[in-house]
Amino acid sequence: MTALSNKIQQAFGQIHATDQMKYAAALGVLEREPQRLRPAVRFRKVWRPLVLACLLLFSGAGFGGWYLLETPVSYVSVDVNPSIELTLNRLNRVTGAESRNEAGEMILKEVQVKGRSYLEAVRLLVESDVMQRFLTEDADLIFTVASPRADELLTGLESSEVSILYQGMCRQADMETVASAHECGMSLGKYTIYKRLSEYDASVTAEECQHISMHQLHLRLSQYEDGNDEYHKCDDTGSAEDGCAEGRHHCQETHR
């Protein structure tokens, strides 16, 4: 038997399986695969697309959240002599704050406003130690808003305690004005006054206006506009200054 086995082994030992033979053998094994393994294969086929869909859903939600929280939508400038401009997202929360002069830089070193609501940010800026030094009796506190939802933001500012206490004045600017103001290195508030002044006096420069307080700019503008400035300020008793007749709150003309 041993001799016979050796002869059989020698005869078939020279035969090598081709790739086609191996592939056919593999198919045969799969065909004979135990039924108990097939549910696992079907499970993977069903759940793999669902897992991919969930991953895409979560990644899309993350991008949407980032877009909602970080994309600039509105701009609010706070001007006395310090000039600070706030960038707001769709939730009216501050995503950025930039100073437009040296005094503004000093305030932003003292106050952190990113992530806060715009009204809280304005309160912190106005009540900061540096800003308080500029809020003298003849100071003009100006809020300028550029936004698709300007009415909402201005209403909030006009009724805020800070605006009432310091007799803040509000106005609205076009969104197109934002880029022009930034090109000049100015806040929205000072830029709008500068543009109006430049219509009367071509020698006025943006750099000059950058270092002049809002009160001084208003005085210069009033020389040309005969005191008919669109800014109005009401006193606490309800009597009117500069033609304002709307009591403690500001006239509608301040932002229309």
pLDDT digits (tens, 9 = 90+) for 223-254: 998 655 454 443 333 333 333 223 223 333 33
For residue 241, the model assigns a pLDDT of 36
Report percent pLDDT > 70 for the chain: 61
Residue 40: band (very low, low, confident or very high) from pLDDT cuts 50, 70, 90: low
For residue 252, the model assigns a pLDDT of 34
pLDDT above 60 for 113:
yes
At 101, list the tokens.
């002069």
Residue 70: band (very low, low, confident or very high) from pLDDT cuts 50, 70, 90: confident
pLDDT above 70 for 16:
no
| 146, β-bridge pairs | 75
Mean pLDDT of 99-121: 95
For 231, the 3-state DSSP assignment is: coil
- Those residues with Cβ within 8 angstroms of residue 150's Cβ, 6 or more apart along the chain or in another chain: 74, 172, 255
- Average pLDDT along the chain: 78
Q: Pairing between strand 83-88 and 142-146?
A: unpaired
CB 69 within 8 A of CB 87: no
More confident residue, 230 or 208: 208
CA torsion through residues 208, 210, 212, 218, sign: positive
Mean pLDDT of 77-97: 96
Phi, psi of 84 (to 5 degrees): -130, 135
Mean pLDDT of 26-40: 55
pLDDT above 90 for 123:
yes
For residue 24, the model assigns a pLDDT of 57
Report percent pLDDT > 90 for the chain: 55
Pick the closest to residue 134 from 238, 235, 211 (CA basis).
211
Model-wide pTM > 0.85:
no
